[in-house]
């Protein structure tokens, strides 16, 4: 880890702590959205690219396009998985 990376890390942690003081009952990273790539969604859902595009067209899976890449909010993908899971057996 370089000195620059260490300074950035300390500044980031300090800012998150200060921000959390103004938001009662929340963690420092609460409210920050985490985005994952198309490939990560394919891995998590075990779906093909075509299957994911179908769910996007149907409005069942939300996608964002900042620039040229498609990204997904991690919490949206987890909700999609939970909503669409099937139970087998007893």
Neighbours of 77 (CB within 10 A): 20
Q: What is the DSSP string of 11-70?
A: HHHHHHHHHHHHSTT--TTTT---EEEHHHHHHHHT--HHHHHHHHHHTSS--B-STTS-
Per-residue model confidence (pLDDT) at position 72: 94
pLDDT digits (tens, 9 = 90+) for 27-74: 555 566 789 999 999 999 999 999 999 999 999 999 999 888 999 999
The pLDDT assigned to 5 comes to 83
């Amino acid at each position: 880890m370089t000195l620059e990376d260490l300074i950035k890390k300390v500044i980031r942690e300090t800012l998150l702590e200060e921000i959390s003081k103004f938001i009662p009952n929340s963690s420092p990273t609460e409210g920050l959205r985490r985005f994952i790539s198309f490939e990560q969604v394919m891995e998590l859902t075990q779906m093909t690219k075509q299957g994911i595009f179908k769910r996007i067209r149907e409005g069942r899976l939300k996608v964002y396009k900042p620039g040229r890449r498609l990204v997904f909010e991690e919490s949206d993908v987890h909700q999609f998985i939970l909503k669409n899971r099937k139970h087998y057996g007893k």
